[in-house]
């Protein structure tokens, strides 16, 4: 008989489930190959001691209230926790944990994949070849923009932003970054810290790495897009709601921006209809952390976090302790 009643909202890599078996003696899991509806989430999470969830599960005040009488921890298998009303959870006695660090390099790789693909028109070129339209080398075919020796603007200088900056040295790029706090790692690379508007006006490539908060929602709005350097490329692997997609589509269609590479969307999984017909935007299905190794590490970390809170052990990945718990405000 399992000591704790734990629910996993969707299949995760086996290594994570193994931790739950070993640490907690078992768990219940959503056996459907899809995210749960809101009603299903409430029904399945009610009466549990802990829940291991994904960024597609939205825990707002109403969902949390339904779980609060028993639940002690929600372990998000993601670094971002904008899908959880973290303050409400803490006030209801539910700790929230996440999986930072383990996905840093993999997400930075994807940001670079999008940056290069957008600059060198890889998506468009691939569609062209598959459509049988490649009839021979052409001096004017698919001319993109150089990446090397250009200026990279990093918005949000946390772990992933710094990892994106590290990769830029191989491309001899100048780095600008903007963040409320200086980044020792980026500073050591010779990067220049500046304000957002300054960065947007000077960077050839802008890569977004901010968490979604009240401050960053629609941070890249129509006005800010207009301030971006003409011919610049925008890359977003953070959260879709940081960018005004309609304004971005207008800037891409009108030619103010050369291209964009997007992994995340305002109303995921919906893609703004104005983006879909555009050749100069590379669209990925939120796969920033999607390597086998990283998803396994995230699953193990999420399971470890869940077990640690339930067993009263220390975890470094507490986004917000439950009110009244050690470390709570």
Residues marked active site are found at 239, 268, 286
Q: CA nearest 51: which of 305, 306, 283, 296? A: 306
Shortest CB 241 distance to ligand DGY, Å: 12
Nearer to ligand DGY, 151 or 236 (CB): 236
Binding marks (x or -) toward ligand DGY, 51..90, rule CB under 6 A? ----x----------------------xxx----------
Check binding of 103 to ligand DGY (CB under 6 A): yes
44 binds ligand DGY (CB under 6 A): no
Which of 183, 236 has the CB closer to ligand DGY?
Answer: 236
- Nearest distance from residue 264's CB to ligand DGY, in Å? 7
**Given 288, 297, 306, 319, the residue binding ligand DGY (CB under 6 A):** 288
What is the spatial distance between Cα 142 and Cα 251, in angstroms, rounded to a whole number? Answer: 20
Q: Hey, how many other C-beta atoms are within 10 angstroms of the C-beta on 51?
A: 24
Contact set for ligand DGY, span 170-189 (CB under 6 A): none
Closest CA to 298 of 26, 76, 84, 9: 76
Smallest gap from Cβ 130 to ligand DGY, in A, equals 28
**Residues 118 to 157 in contact with ligand DGY, rule: CB under 6 A:** none
User: Based on CB atoms, which residue is closest to ligand DGY, 163 or 191?
Assistant: 163
Q: Does 289 bind ligand DGY (CB under 6 A)?
A: yes
Least CB distance to ligand DGY at residue 242 (A): 12
Smaller CB distance to ligand DGY: residue 55 or 300? 55
Q: Which is nearer to ligand DGY, 78 or 234 (CB)?
A: 78
Q: Output the CA angle 70-76-77, nearest 5 degrees.
A: 140
Closest approach of ligand DGY to the CB of residue 285, in Å:
11
Sheet of 28-29: strand order equals: 28-29, 6-8, 50-53, 73-76, 95-97, 318-320
Residue 16 in contact with ligand DGY, rule: CB under 6 A: no
The residue behind tokens 């470390």 is 327
Q: What is the dihedral of CA 103, 108, 109, 113, to 10 degrees?
A: 140
If one asks whether residue 13 binds ligand DGY (CB under 6 A), the answer comes out as: no
Query: How far lies 29's CA from each of 33, 34, 42, 123, 235, in Å?
Result: 11, 12, 14, 37, 35
Q: Kindly give the residue spans of alpha helices, DSSP state H, lying in the chain.
A: 14-24, 38-45, 61-67, 86-91, 104-119, 122-130, 159-168, 184-188, 196-202, 222-227, 245-254, 292-310
Following DSSP, what letter does each residue of 48-112 receive, concatenated?
-SEEEE-TTS-B-HHHHHHHTTT--EEEESSS--TTB-HHHHHHTT-EEE---STTHHHHHHHHH
Residue closer to ligand DGY (CB basis): 258 or 262: 262
**Residues in a beta bridge with 76:** 53
Total of residues contacting ligand DGY (CB under 6 A): 7
Whichever of 144 and 288 has its CB closer to ligand DGY, that residue is 288
Say which DSSP state 317 is in. T
Q: Whole-number minimum distance, CB 82 to ligand DGY, in Å?
A: 8
Q: How far is the CB of 103 from ligand DGY (least distance, A)?
A: 6
Residues that bind ligand DGY (CB under 6 A): 55, 78-80, 103, 288-289
């Amino acid at each position: 008989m399992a000591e704790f009643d734990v629910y996993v909202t969707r299949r995760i890599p086996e290594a994570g489930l193994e931790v739950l078996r070993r640490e907690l003696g078992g768990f219940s899991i959503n056996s459907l190959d899809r995210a749960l509806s809101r009603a299903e989430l409430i029904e399945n999470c009610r009466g549990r001691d802990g829940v291991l969830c994904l960024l597609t599960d939205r825990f707002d005040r109403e969902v949390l209230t339904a779980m609060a009488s028993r639940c002690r921890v929600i372990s998000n298998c993601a670094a971002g926790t904008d899908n959880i009303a973290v303050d409400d959870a803490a006030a209801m006695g539910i700790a929230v944990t996440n999986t930072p660090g383990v996905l840093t390099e993999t997400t930075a790789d994807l940001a670079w994949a999008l940056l290069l693909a957008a600059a060198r028109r890889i998506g468009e070129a691939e569609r062209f070849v598959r459509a049988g339209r490649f009839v021979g080398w052409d001096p004017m075919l698919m001319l993109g923009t150089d990446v090397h020796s250009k200026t990279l603007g990093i918005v949000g200088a946390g772990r992933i932003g710094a990892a994106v900056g590290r990769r830029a040295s191989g491309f001899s790029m100048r780095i600008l970054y903007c963040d409320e706090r200086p980044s020792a790692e980026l500073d050591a690379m010779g990067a220049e810290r500046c304000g957002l508007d300054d960065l947007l006006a000077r960077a050839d490539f802008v890569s977004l790495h901010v968490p979604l908060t009240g401050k960053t929602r629609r941070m890249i709005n129509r006005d800010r897009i207009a301030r971006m350097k003409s011919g610049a490329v925008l890359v977003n692997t953070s959260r879709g709601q940081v960018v005004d997609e309609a304004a971005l589509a207008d800037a891409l269609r009108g030619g103010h921006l050369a291209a964009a590479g997007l992994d995340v969307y305002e109303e995921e999984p919906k893609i703004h209809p104005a983006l879909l017909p555009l050749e100069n935007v590379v669209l990925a299905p939120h796969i920033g952390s999607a390597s086998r190794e990283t998803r396994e590490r995230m699953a193990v970390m999420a399971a470890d976090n869940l077990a640690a809170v339930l067993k009263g052990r220390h975890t470094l990945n507490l986004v917000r302790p439950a009110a009244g718990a050690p470390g709570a405000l």
